[in-house]
Amino acid sequence: MAPPILSLALPSETGRVLSIQSHTVQGYVGNKSAVFPLQLLGYDVDPINSVQFSNHTGYPTFKGQVLNGQQLWELIEGLGANNLLYYTHLLTGYIGSVSFLNTVLEVVNKLRSINPKLTYVCDPVMGDEGKLYVPPELVSVYRERVVPVASMLTPNQFEAEQLAGFRIASETDGREACKILHAAGPPKVVITSININGNLLLIGSHQKEKGQSPEQFKIVIPKIPSYFTGTGDLMTALLLGWSNKYPDSLDKAAELAVSSLQAVLQRTLNDYLNAGYDPQSSSLEIRLIQSQDSIRNPDVKFKAEEYN
């Protein structure tokens, strides 16, 4: 008789996460940016790497392999054949093709057939600052098929505009976009960064009952004049981690996530400066391992302001 799978027989108090994201050998993006923080917060995390690249694509060159939808499904079938498909959470980030995204939707259905209470946290990575960096046909699949099955969405401003169908030019617009997304499916929406008149905000929205007005809040975020890779992947992982610990307090979860992320970025900036490097000259790899105390026990310096 085979020994029990302890993550199933003796589950952690937090949960068991299947994370489908990209992987780089060097550096911290995708699963490399999400798995370790979730483990620090007490989760069992099983990563499926949608790509395996030598480094992120911002470098002059990269090499590696891309997983297709059929290969993803083979991994799911392998887990299923051994009764290993009980997960409390599914986390997805960058997905580069419609066929892979369609298979992810099949994975959602399969996991929910085993655990109907599965929480699906989706970062709908499509683009930023007015530019798409996925094929345009992915937008409609996200809008029409992914949003309705997600439990929590974490778009940036541009992605929220794509999903809600209008331009976000004010805080009121951001709050309205959240309401439109609630109506389509997810009870929790966090627009992770909105640039309004030169100010950077996070807007969070939690609709606790269908048809009810959502509880909404904002967190003002300092602007750091540098570009970091992997921050969106880290932010979504932290939101998953903390919102599961505080299921009725999305504002508290967001305070913890933002405070952790800002500490990681500040640490990264300081380390590059200490190494004599101009942090504005190129994208920076985040210092994840060196910041683990800030991930496990963040000092909450960024507070949510409730909207009436």
- Alpha-carbon gap, residue 69 to 290, rounded angstroms: 35
Q: Which pair of structure tokens corresponds to residue 16?
A: 């068991």
Residue 113: strand, helix, or coil: helix
List residues bridging with 20 in a β-sheet: 48, 92
Residue 257 CB partners (closer than 8 Å, separation 6+): 235, 238, 239, 241, 242
DSSP conformation class of 282: S
Phi, psi (5° rounding) for residue 209?
-135, 140
β-bridge pairing 127-128 and 131-132: antiparallel
Name the nearest CA neighbour of 239 among 290, 280, 193: 193
- Alpha-carbon gap, residue 269 to 290, rounded angstroms: 12
Label residue 98 exposed, middle or buried (CB < 10 Å: 0-12, 13-18, 19+): middle
- Alpha-carbon gap, residue 244 to 241, rounded angstroms: 6
Q: Is 198 left (phi over 0), alpha (psi -120 to 50) or beta?
A: left
Q: Which pair of structure tokens corresponds to residue 293?
A: 């105390």
Question: Which active-site residues does the annotation give?
Answer: 233
State the Rg of the chain over Cα: 19
The position carrying tokens 């190129």 is: 282
Phi, psi (5° rounding) for residue 306?
-70, 140
List residues bridging with 195 in a β-sheet: 200
